[in-house]
Amino acid sequence: MAEDNAGGPLDFVARRARSVLGIMDEAATTVIRAVAGAVLDRIDLDDLVSRVDVNRIAERVDVRRVADRVDVEGIADRVDVNRIADRVDVNRVADRVDVDAVIVRIDLVGLTRGVLAETDLGRIVRDTGGGMAAETADAIRLLGRRGDRGVNRFGDRLLGRAVPPQGNGDGPPPGRAR
């Protein structure tokens, strides 16, 4: 039966009804825009805004939800750090730094331990003090030899032996082996 009505009077009525509805929709849209424009022209927006309780609106805003939607990576990618750094007055920043407060925060003991742990002090002493150590060892040996000779002379006197003539102290006494 639907096939019998294809292109028939019901189809004609349905097309006309859709056409009328379309015209009515356009007319309603035009009327609404005209009325809304007229209303907005007559409204004092400052008065309207003064009646809005902004704090009440702000209390209802879920800030975390808003923050979750912010593309921080996208913002960071667009920031030109060099351009910002060029605008920084380093001297002005340095003038505001409390150097004493910075020094108090530094762990000097820990820093010193870290430096000493990374430094081969033995090698530095060997490299820089090797010559001085050799000279010191020679001087100690010379003092030891002189002490030995003094003890030998004291022992010789004590035992009544003949005391050999004294040398200049640089070598063994005459007549004795080194």
Scanning 44-89, the segments in alpha helix (DSSP H) are 45-50, 54-60, 63-68, 72-78, 81-87
C-alpha of 22 from chain center: 65
Assess contact for 153 and 176: CB atoms under 8 A: no
Show the 3-state SS of 118-167.
Answer: HCCHHHHHHHHHHHHHHHHHHHHHHHHHHHHHHHHHHHHHHHCCCCCCCC
Tokens of 139: 């001087």
Question: What type of residue sits at position 11?
Answer: D
Assess contact for 167 and 174: CB atoms under 8 A: yes
At which residue do the structure tokens 């351009």 appear?
Answer: 83
C-alpha of 167 from chain center: 72
Question: What type of residue sits at position 67?
Answer: A
Going residue by residue through the chain, which has 178 residues, state the pLDDT in tens, using 9 for 90 and above. Answer: 444 556 788 889 999 999 999 999 999 999 999 999 999 888 888 888 898 999 999 999 999 999 999 999 999 999 999 999 999 999 999 899 998 898 888 888 888 888 888 887 777 777 776 677 778 888 888 988 998 888 888 888 878 787 666 655 555 545 444 4
